[in-house]
Amino acid sequence: MSDKKKTGGLAGVSAGETQLCTVGKEGAGLTYRGYDIYDLADRASFEEVAYLLLYGKLPNSRELAAYIKTLKSLRGLPPQLKQVLELVPGDTHPMDVLRSAVSLLGNFEPEGDFSNQSRVADRLLACLPSMLLYWHRFHTDGKRINVETGDDSVSGHFLHLLHDSKPSELHRKSLDTTLILYAEHEFNASTFAARVITGTLSDMHSAVTGAIGALRGPLHGGANEAAMELIQKFKSPDEAARGVRGMLARKERIMGFGHRVYTVSDPRNAVNKKMSKMLSEEAGDTHLYAISEAIEKVMWDEKKLFANADFFAASVYHFIGIPTYLFTPIFVCSRISGWAAHIMEQRANNKLIRPAADYIGPPLQKWQPIEKRA
Ligand code: ACO
């Protein structure tokens, strides 16, 4: 393999330092600021994890209560932003809605100098579900909903706004756990995009807008929606196994499988898969979970490719009643914590990110006047 092939897409290249996360590191696995992802998924709330990422330590009970209060106070939307959300067509992809809404919030509430950067991070964390679901409910139910619910958690707030009623604790906790798993993942494409933008000394809204654009693609966050669409194509595990073998034979990519850094498994998958099974039993599902498992088996048997964080997250969201087109936006509502933490880390020791490229174009050309060109 040539050096170029090895480093294509910067695979295996270290592009900087971070204190926020290890991904697949020997002896550590996936950790956020040194805490194992399994401990966080089992024992923490998403708000504790966001605080850990943004403020550098796990909050004590007083700090957590104050943080929850702060986030609740930041859920409201400027009236002008609501007006624009009403004007954005209802068939727009919600990732495009969030991308535009974050950019607009930067117009109504510009960051200015960076002395209030934690406040901007908290504001985005608190109001992303409000932006998404204000737009969604206006265009699906024709309602101008009140986005300032009394729910303590981001997950409860999200499901309450979506379904117009308080969620069951099982559903809220399941969403909360996926938010924890999605919160941070080192120099993934969207986070790196945010750091590149931040490196020019741009504002947080610009960096997050760019990150949403990067997350949107099916090779990154968009994979959870694509995975759901695939799973729903099949009526039985046998049909799914045959169908996926056929796709592999046609060299098609199966979304929700494989990873740039992990080689044998994605640690987030074990948690999502367990939740998906439990929720499938609760929902009396007879085929969706079995189909997902059949696809997972074929992918491992045929290609030694494993399910990544997105594959079973898809059925978790489906079982708690979330429409497929809102799956990737949920990723945004979580990853904002990691993005903002990286933006602040980049600023703390900033250096413009501007790599070099190997030129592979034509040699120096002689100038041709326009009338002599072919
Ligand atoms: N389905 C089928 N084949 C695959 C898949 C897949 N999901 N993933 C990798 N491969 C194959 C490729 O075709 C390629 O085969 P080849 O060498 O014969 O050409 C080989 O495995 C290596 O794949 P690359 O794309 O070169 O690996 P890379 O590290 O660049 O890609 C990626 C990682 C983008 C995640 C890839 O595995 C993929 O496209 N997966 C599907 C999209 C997806 O699930 N993305 C979510 C990532 S996790 C997240 O964002 C939370």
Considering the chain, what percentage of its residues have pLDDT values greater than 90?
Answer: 96
Report the number of secondary-structure helices (H) and strands (E) in the chain: 17, 3
Model pLDDT for residues 214-228, shown as the tens digit of each residue:
999 999 999 999 999
Beta carbon of 260 within 6 Å of any ligand 1 atom: yes
**Mutation test residue for ligand 1: of 186, 220, 257, the one with most atoms within 8 Å of CB:** 257
Task: Identify the H or E element spanning 25.
Answer: strand 21-25
Annotated catalytic residues are 220, 259, 310
pLDDT above 80 (res 4):
no
CA atoms of 277 and 177, how far apart (whole Å): 14
Q: What is the 3-state secondary structure (H, E, C) of 129-195?
A: HHHHHHHHHHHHHCCCCCCCCCCCCHHHHHHHHHHCCCCCHHHHHHHHHHHHHHCCCCCCHHHHHHH
Q: Is the distance from CB of 241 to CB of 294 less than 8 angstroms?
A: yes
Q: Taking phi first (over 0 means left), then psi (-120 to 50 degrees means alpha), and beta for anything else, what does residue 302 get?
A: alpha
pLDDT digit string, tens, across residues 6-41: 568 999 999 999 999 999 888 889 999 999 999 999
Angle, alpha carbons 185-186-192 (nearest 5°): 110
Tens-digit pLDDT profile for residues 285-323: 989 999 999 999 999 999 999 999 999 999 999 999 999
Written as six digits, the tokens of 156 are 């409860």
Q: Hey, what are 239's tokens?
A: 């049909």
Q: Which residues pair with 22 in a beta bridge?
A: 31
Q: How far is the CA of 329 from the centre of ligand 1 (A)?
A: 22
CB count in 10 Å sphere of residue 31? 20
Taking the CA of residue 8 as reference, the ligand 1 atom at the shortest distance is: 30
The 21-25 sheet, strands edge to edge: 21-25, 29-32, 35-36
Q: Tokens 């600021």 map to which residue?
A: 33
310 in contact with ligand 1, CB cutoff 6 A: yes
For the stretch 72-100, pLDDT in tens is 999 999 999 999 999 999 999 999 999 99
What does the pLDDT average to over 276-283? 97
Buried-state track 38-70, b at ≥16 Cβ within 10 A, e below 16:
eebbeebbbbbbbbbbbbeebbeeeebeebbeb
* 5, 23, 219: residue to mutate for ligand 1 pocket, most atoms within 8 A of CB: 219
Q: What's the pTM? A: 0.96
Ligand 1 atom 46 nearest Cα? 220
Question: Does residue 5 register a pLDDT over 70?
Answer: no
Judge if the beta carbon of residue 184 lies within 6 A of ligand 1: no
